[in-house]
Amino acid sequence: MYNELNENEKAVIERKGTERAFSGEYDDFYEEGTYCCKKCGTALYTSADKFSSGCGWPSFDDELLNAVKRVPDADGRRVEIVCKNCDGHLGHVFEGEHITDKNTRHCVNSISLIFKKV
């Protein structure tokens, strides 16, 4: 059973849209806790792996074990990331930018996430 989504959430999570840069509630947000999939509630990321990339979307350099699936994007250039449990669209993953020691940036739509404070 999945959480009910509004039309804006469906546009991003189910139809693979993207929210406007710098518009999401978690872009400049740094409380301690866990970020979960808005559609199914699966834990995806921890605040320890969140960092400021300046790209306009929440950025993480690691995900929780077995939480996120990487799939080729329809554009043929990028790698899409989806919730491994429900296939809800999260955003894209980029490697080789040398922004963090892990050299990975999960660029995630805030609208795809629910934050659970510790």
Domains and CATH numbers, the chain: 7-117 (2.170.150.20)
pLDDT computed for residue 118 by the predictor: 87
- Whether residue 74 is predicted with pLDDT greater than 90 in this model: the reply is no
Mean pLDDT of the chain, nearest integer? 97
Residue given tokens 């921890």 in the structure block: 46
Q: What is the pLDDT of residues 84-112, one digit of tens each?
A: 999 999 999 999 999 999 999 999 999 99
Exposure string (b/e) for 46-59, b if CB count within 10 Å is 16 or more? bbebbeebeeebbb
- Whether residue 56 is predicted with pLDDT greater than 90 in this model: the reply is yes
End-to-end CA distance of the chain, in Å?
Answer: 25
Residue given tokens 């980029």 in the structure block: 94
Return d(Cα 66, Cα 113) in angstroms, integer: 17
Could you give the residue numbers annotated as active site?
Answer: 107
What is the pTM (predicted TM-score) of this model? 0.95
Q: Three-state SS for 115?
A: strand
Residues 29-56: what's their mean pLDDT?
A: 98
Query: Who has greater pLDDT, 25 or 1?
Result: 25
